Amino acid sequence: MSAKILNGKLLAQNLENALKKEVASLKKETGCVPHLVNVMVGDHHGACAYAKSQKKAAEHISIQYELEALQEDVTQEHFRQCIKRLNDDESVNGIMIHKPVPQHIEYHAVAKYVDTDKDLEGINVTNIGKMLLGETRIIPCTPASVMEHIKSTGIDLYGKEAVIVGHSVIVGKPLSLLLLEQFATVTVCHIATSEAGQLEAHVRRADIVVVAVGKPSVIKGDWIKKGAVVIDVGINQVNDKIVGDVEFEAACKNAAFITPVPGGVGPVTVTMLMRNGVEAFKAQMRKKGKL
C-alpha cells in the first residue's frame, strides 16, 4: 500500500476560504471583523516565522491581526498590565501569548491573565473545562488541526483504536478528549510507555496513530498497521531538514493516510487559531446582542 499524503496546505486553504465567507457575512451583520492580538516578547526567530503565517492567514480571511511586542526584559507585572489592557479593550476579540517567553516570565501564570472569552488558543482553565463538557467551540489549535486532518480522510472514528504518542497539555491530553467525543477507543502513550517497552505494541494495533513527541524516527515505519491513519505532529530539525517523529517513507508502505512534515499539521494549526478568533468574536457579539 502507498499512503495518500494529507496535504495540510490545501486543507488549510479550503478551511480558510470557508472562514473568509463567514467573516464577510459577520461583517455585514455586525459592522466589524474579528480583531486578534498576538503578544510576543522580544524577536525570537521561530516565533516570528509562526507569527508571519498567522498574519498571512488573517489577511486571507480578512481578520484584523496585530503583534503586541514587549521588550525582552519585560517584568511579569508589566506583562499582566498589557494583558489587562487588551482584556479591557472592547475592540479586541482574541489574545494569544507567543511561546517561548523569556525564562524570567512564568508562561502559565501570564496565560491565566487572558480573559476566558478572548482565549485564542483554548488553553485557559475554564475553556479546557468547558471542552471536557463539550460546552465550547474554542478548542486548542494543534489538537483541532489533528481532528480536521482525520475528518478529511472520511474515516468514521466510532469504535476505532486511536493511539496518541505524547501526553502534553497542548497536544496529547486535549486530543484524547476530542477523540473520545467521537467514540474512538483512546490510548495515550508517553515516555514511560516507551521505557516499559510497550510503545511498539500499542502503535501496531492502532487504526489511528497521532505522534507528538519531538524525536525523529521515534515511531518506526514498519510498526504502522496496514490501512492506518498516521498524523505526525512532531517538528524536528535534522541537519538542514525539518522532519517529523515518524519514519515517513517506511510508514507510507503500510498507512492508508499520512501527514507530511512540513506541510501537514502545522498549516492547519494556524487556521484553527483563526477559527478560534472567529468563534470568540461570535460569542462576544452574541453577548452584546449584535448577533
Binding-site ranges for ligand NAD (CB under 6 A): 142, 165-168, 170-172, 189-191, 193-194, 199, 212-215, 218, 233-236, 265-266, 269
Q: How far is the CB of 159 from ligand NAD (least distance, A)?
A: 25
Q: How far is the CB of 117 from ligand NAD (least distance, A)?
A: 24
- Residue 279 in grid coordinates: 468563534
CB contact at 8 A, 216 and 225:
no
- Residue 87 in grid coordinates: 482584556
CB contact at 8 A, 160 and 286:
no
The residue (of 61 and 141) whose beta carbon lies closer to ligand NAD is: 141
The residue (of 218 and 258) whose beta carbon lies closer to ligand NAD is: 218
DSSP state at residue 162: E
The residue (of 235 and 250) whose beta carbon lies closer to ligand NAD is: 235
The residue (of 42 and 214) whose beta carbon lies closer to ligand NAD is: 214
Q: How far is the CB of 289 from ligand NAD (least distance, A)?
A: 36
The residue (of 30 and 236) whose beta carbon lies closer to ligand NAD is: 236
Q: How far is the CB of 19 from ligand NAD (least distance, A)?
A: 18
- Residue 290 in grid coordinates: 449584535
Closest CA to 152 of 233, 264, 245: 264
Cβ atoms within 10 Å, residue 105: 17
The residue (of 74 and 210) whose beta carbon lies closer to ligand NAD is: 210
- Residue 158 in grid coordinates: 466510532
The residue (of 38 and 284) whose beta carbon lies closer to ligand NAD is: 38
Q: How far is the CB of 242 from ligand NAD (least distance, A)?
A: 10
H helix or E strand, kind and range, residue 209: strand 208-211
Report DSSP letters for 67-102, one per residue. Answer: EEEE-TT--HHHHHHHHHHHHH-TT--EEEEPSPPP
Q: How far is the CB of 213 from ligand NAD (least distance, A)?
A: 4
Q: How far is the CB of 197 from ligand NAD (least distance, A)?
A: 11
The residue (of 51 and 218) whose beta carbon lies closer to ligand NAD is: 218
Chain CA centroid to CA 101, Å = 18
Closest CA to 226 of 45, 61, 3, 28: 3
Residue indicated by cell numbers 486553504? 13
Per DSSP, helices labelled H in the chain are 8-30, 45-61, 76-88, 107-111, 125-132, 141-153, 172-181, 191-195, 199-204, 248-252, 265-287
Q: How far is the CB of 266 from ligand NAD (least distance, A)?
A: 4
